[in-house]
A and B are shown apart, each in its own frame.
Chain A
Amino acid sequence: MSLERFINQAVSSWMSEEGPDSDIVLSSRIRLARNFENFKFPTLFSHEEAQSIILKMEEILSESNFTKFGKMELLKIDDIQPLQKRVLVEKHLISPNLAEDSPYGAVLLTENEEVSIMINEEDHIRIQCLFPGLQLTEALEAANEVDDWLESHIHFGFDEKHGYLTSCPTNVGTGLRASVMMHLPGLMLTQQINRIIPAINQLGLVVRGIYGEGSEALGNIFQISNQITLGKSEEDICRDLKGVVSQLISQERSAREALRKTSNIQLEDRVFRSYGVLSNCRIIETKEAAKCLSDVRLGIDMGYINHLPKNILNELMILTQPGFLQQYAGGHLRANDRDIRRAALIRERLKMEQDKR
């Protein structure tokens, strides 16, 4: 398969399209946790209960005409190849937990992959909407529509005091987890991030690096999400998160301007060195690739590099993950073979843009 076709098939809309503030905000995600009132939660439910939940979802899918977000397809985790599972995880369409530890799991996916519904993960149902750029309100609206649709067919566990009842007490109430993925190289380079993260944590929000293990943020990409789900309305949760994100955006922008003023040539040098590595490397590890991609993306945003599309960071961060590389290669790869493949894929992708000129 040609790389171009592979990418077209592999890329979800949040990776390829641009949204508001997408120079800094890569994506906005809303997740709603819901449970059937009369079935035990997935930690305890029986094989029969699990099956009837999947059956019910299939029934709802075939009976109702919910096409607002395009055609939906139901995939059972058992029927998906291990490599494909990994790809779905890398695209954030399913959780690692659903892929590995949910024997009765399934997922409902829309064609453009903006909406996914995980079934029988930690909760019976988890609605997820993933939009490009800063679009929390839009994503919440979409998730609410999906929720209303399901609610017209299912009695969700709910009580007046506790709200939507979830398996884990940390999700009860709204069942809402709103998160925003941000690219913050300016705050990293100026070392302001170490001061900012504790401040954000105090506001009941969580900051973590994505793709990296622990707190390390690979490619200067951070995920910021709400911690509290009970006692605030969905709109308030999103508004509070959006408030913090907007502040981060303006701080990141001023950090970038400060860098341009104080160390313009150093920054330009850094950007083009990284571009040089990416376009010439023959072996590259995830960590180095992430660092260089972040530099190149910063270079695009700041106008040093003009011939590359902005979404190249989103796209290549995902496409160079182990699962994708192996899917592209058509089979299992050892770690050092992956590093070679990764280098080849990145080079080829950058060449595609060169050729377009």
Chain B
Amino acid sequence: MICQECNQRPAALHFTKIINGEKTEVNLCEKCAQEKGEMFMFTGGSGFTFNNLLAGLLNIDPTVQKQNQNTFHQEEVLQCNRCSMTFPQFIKVGRFGCAHCYETFKEQLPPVLRRLHSGNGTHSGKIPKRIGGGIHLKKQVESLKNELKELIKQEEFEEAAKIRDEIRSLEKELPGSSKGGE
């Protein structure tokens, strides 16, 4: 088996990462493993911190890596204009610099967040009051729509009809949504 990193040397290190029950096979040659900091697992406990672990996790993600390389080739590194955090930096430390980073890196984040949160990518909890009722309704409609899909899948059409009516009545309350659709 060839190292998945350099595609040249034979892979010497094979292991499986399990994060939230999601398995990832990793096959690396010794050199790449060392460079990627994966060897810390085998060289004793020193430096085994949550940050390393997280950074390792972010690094191994093929999507993140592709984007990394792309930005490198174009010689422009994605950088937050409020706190100057760059995406490679974020990958390295595993911490954002400010709230605005989420906006700056929003294209890169979905695979990272899905990995950390068992496939979830969208908030469905509390919403600050100042942001207003619009979002609350929208969220409610979204979750009902998901429920509707499930019910249709299970062929529970009677229940589904009830949910559909509920969605319709909620959508009427939504500001600026009279045209329907998304």
A→B interface (CB under 8 Å)? 35-41, 43-44, 122, 144, 147-148, 151-152, 155-170, 172-174, 176, 201-202, 204, 227-234, 237
Contact = CB atoms under 8 A, between A and B. Distances in A.
B123 A234 contact: no
Contacts of A161: 106, 121-123
Contacts of B122: 161, 230-231
Given A169-B112, A173-B117, A229-B117, A234 B125 contact: yes
Nearest to B98: A40
A149 to B, nearest CB: 11
Interface in B98-140: 98-99, 102-103, 106, 109, 112-113, 116-131, 135
B94 A168 contact: yes
A316 B82 CA distance: 48
B158 to A, nearest CB: 26
Most chain A beta carbons < 10 A, residue from B99, B116, B120, B125? B99
Contacts, number: 123
A228 B113 contact: no
B113 A169 contact: yes
A155 B128 CA distance: 9
A118 to B, nearest CB: 16
Given A44-B85, A230-B120, A151 B113 contact: no
Contacts of B124: 231-233
B123 A227 contact: no
Most chain A beta carbons < 10 A, residue from B21, B94, B98, B112? B98
A169 B94 contact: yes
Main secondary structure of the interface of B (DSSP, over half): loop
Contacts of A202: 21
Given A40-B98, A165-B99, 7 more contacts: A162-B102, A169-B109, A172-B123, A173-B117, A173-B120, A228-B20, A234-B126
B25 to A, nearest CB: 19
A159 to B, nearest CB: 6
B130 A39 contact: no
Nearest to A214: B45
Given A173-B125, A228-B20, A233-B125, A41 B54 contact: no
A41 B130 CA distance: 22
A231 B123 contact: yes
Contacts of B127: 158
Interface residues of B, number: 36
A152 B130 CA distance: 8
Contacts of B94: 168-169
A174 B20 contact: no
Contacts of B77: none
B89 to A, nearest CB: 10
Contacts of A159: 102-103
6 contacts: A43-B95, A44-B97, A162-B109, A172-B113, A174-B125, A233-B126
A31 B8 CA distance: 47
A197 to B, nearest CB: 14
Contacts of A156: 128
Nearest to A162: B102
A43 B130 contact: no
Nearest to A237: B125
B98 A41 contact: yes
A176 B124 CA distance: 12
A55 B161 CA distance: 54
A346 B30 CA distance: 53
B20 A230 contact: no
Given A44-B97, A169-B94, A170-B116, A176 B125 contact: yes
A148 B120 contact: no
Q: Which 5 A-B pairs have the closest CB atoms?
A: A231-B120, A163-B123, A157-B99, A174-B125, A230-B117
Contacts of A148: 129
B40 interface: no
A336 B21 CA distance: 44
B121 A169 contact: no
Given A156-B128, A158-B128, A170 B54 contact: yes
B83 A162 contact: no
